[in-house]
Structure 1
Amino acid sequence: MAFQISFLFILAGLTGIDSISTVSVVSVKAGDSISIPCLYGAQYKNHVKYLCEGYRWDTCSSKVTTNKPNSNKFSIFDDKKQRTFTVTIKDVTGSDLHYWCAVEIRKGPDVGKYFELSVTKDTPSLYVDHQELRVFEGDPIEINCHHSIPGRNEWCRLDGSCVTNSAGLLNGAIVTIIARSSEYFTVTMSGLRTESSGWYVCVKGDFTMPVHITVTEQPLIISTLGNPATTTVDHSAGPEKFLIPLSLLIPLAIATLITWFLLKRHKNTRAESSATTTAAEVTYSTVTMRSKPSSQAQEEITNSYFKHGSDPGSDVIYSSVVILDQTKG
């Protein structure tokens, strides 16, 4: 027993078990792809990282490295800011089982951390809808952890800190865990900040499923004049960025002035036309004939009276109306 414990301490020292963190057992369906995060210590920031395949550390074989990051089946990406390198295994098969997150040491033995894939033909024992999620700072986010196994529901950061009860805090973010049914539980995170970005892990029994969350700053939204759409402006934008919307006002102002001038001119023209018509002078003249007609004319008028019903003795009045145009000299 003492020999076994001593062997474990030696293995831990050889593999740098305390300087690299990763998941334990990840369930994945055959034919799918899976991404595995590997967190490393600050002392390995500029070291070459790689994925090693094999059950035993001393006999595993390198599959992809950060200085040769792509192959047909494997890829690797090193985020030095987060001190995490991520390996992706494509088109998983039943023979893809045992792997190591590894760091190359120039003067000494390399260090590594073991993880295992549990490959299924049907639905995985523990999975999420999406491994990669994005959210704005301050907005809440929900993750559904689907499972078909018993065990305690947990939500952890890759560094090892976990929420195991119904609620708790992770790096300042509020975490609630609700068991929706016997087939999945929901993790809700709120109060997220940009520094909350990183890898998290759904945990159920012996199985783990990594999820990467990226938290970005809320965009600044301003309305563009004359357009109901919105424009996103960078928080770091200088004053020159706002000259573009202001330049749009110049053509609009010119068009408004031209329209106002034309309307005013049309109104003045109509007013002058109306004044000209009103200024016309109307003169009435009346001519009245009261002299008695001659005897012959009287006879003709008398005959006309009997014929047309007019009074032969009535006066004859002529009227005329003359309009004088005041606009002429």
Structure 2
Amino acid sequence: MKMWSSQNLLFILSLALSRVTRAAEVIHAAGYKGREVTVSCPYEEGYTSHEKYLCRNDCAKNYDVMIKTSEGEKGRYSIHDDNKKQVFTVTISDLYPTDAGKYWCGVTRFGMDPYTAEVKLEVEPDSCCDRSTNIQSYEGGSVSISCVYNSQYRNNLKYICRGKQPSTCLQQALITSDNKRKGRFRLTDDKVSRKFTVSITSLTQEDSGSYLCGVHRNTGLDVFSAAELEVKGQRSQIYQTILH
């Protein structure tokens, strides 16, 4: 009878553990190396006054706990608890590739701590891309940069920026699909062929350089493709140089 009771207790305990794991939602987070990422962890109303924390791996050891709400800031980690929204947020700054992995949003209580969410964090290099499209045009003329995207992004925001740094591209966008004409730039989106095109007029040699085509995603990192633009001198000047 005692052996049956022990087995029954172990079964109930394992069932409770499985319920805690299954009840936790999965949050996918991503950030760029050297930048920061913020993770939002929801919790139930009954835990508003409880301490919250973010832990890593199996959360079995003290050093698995990265930060608690009672600490506020700890190294590269900071935490804030919004009791009204029942969400606590953790920001990790100066990301390293080794920060990638599995985390848990936890709540401290008497007995077994509940994990309100599982966090899967990805850390990507802040550079793009392995391949780029080379485009040439002439000073005073115009050029079109075509950017292909996948079908699931038909209704997503599109944009283009200069440089090769994805983390700041949207903030420094030259034009977006929300504002399809801006100065010398014009953006058209062909959702049938899944391609948006950015036209630049009145080119100068200062327009030469690297460009990133971006598609904004609601979750995870934005999707990019790259182009290299070379603006040569005016055609008439080049022709006169050849004649002389």
TM bracket (short chain): 0.3 to 0.5
Q: TM-score, normalised by structure 1?
A: 0.35
Larger radius of gyration: 1
Q: TM-score, normalised by structure 2?
A: 0.46
